[in-house]
Amino acid sequence: MITEVVLKEKETEQKFNGFSFEEIGDDHLYTGIETPMKPNAFAISDEEKKKKITSLFAEIMDVMGLDLTDDSLKGTPNRVAKMYIDEIFSGLNPANKPKVALFDNKYKYNQMLVEKNITFYSNCEHHFVPIIGKAHVAYISSGKVIGLSKLNRIVQYFAKRPQVQERLTNQIAEELKAVLQTEDVAVIIDAKHLCVSSRGIKDDTSATVTSYFGGAFNTPEKIAELQNTLNY
């Protein structure tokens, strides 16, 4: 079924901005803020998904010529399936979205709060290889605050899915705005993409930086203040 879909797409030579996907090659695509999901993405349980992935990944390994009877390899398809569903792509499932409780800002703290250097591991949706980086998030209270660890959990939730860095940045920002009930949020992500460093152009020194500045943060003065804080 999957093979048939791929062949059909090649036959119809689908275009993106006038170019075929073959012509685009390794170029970076970003199609929208929502992670592309099928309407029936959760029609089957996680356990059923793991069984299917185990079978399909075993087939991939077999096609590559690997000996699945070898003691070191025989458990790999199942390990990959569990890793995909329970760990590195667990952010696809809304059931895993962190539950956030708001508290009154009793300290009357009205300056920016910054949580910096949040380490995250994501995966490039074009090649399914890691994106490794740090996120810096900031907000100004509108009268409510959340626990610091919840800022980390929100970053991790959206990172744990096939991603594009621009989308990841915006998804974190939009979630923070909704949860904190304020436009005054900022997100900066600095990351290394293994699809750039370990394959393709093989540039191991470059990094990608994306940012979102909302509300009060979207001024030169506030951006400079945030940058100074991050450089402490």
Find the helix packing angle between 148-159 and 165-180, rounded to 10°.
Answer: 140
What CA–CA distances, in Å, run from 37 to 5, 34, 66?
Answer: 16, 8, 31
Q: Please, are residues 172 and 158 in contact by the beta-carbon 8 Å criterion?
A: yes
Task: Give the burial class of 38: count Cβ atoms within 10 A of its Cβ; 0-12 exposed, 13-18 middle, 19 or more buried.
Answer: exposed
Beta strands 185-193 and 208-213, pairing class: antiparallel
CA distance 124 to 152: 20
What tokens were used for 87? 């760990």
Q: Collapsing DSSP states into helix, strand and coil, what is residue 121?
A: strand
Beta strands 112-124 and 162-163, pairing class: parallel
Q: Which residues are catalytic?
A: 124-127, 165, 193, 195
The residues with which 149 forms a beta bridge, in sequence order, are: none
Question: What is the dihedral angle through the alpha carbons of 61, 3, 93, 91, rounded to the nearest 10 degrees?
Answer: 60
Which residues of 66-129 form beta strands (DSSP E)?
103-104, 112-124
The residues, any chain, with a CB within 8 Å of residue 148's CB and separated by 6 or more, are 115
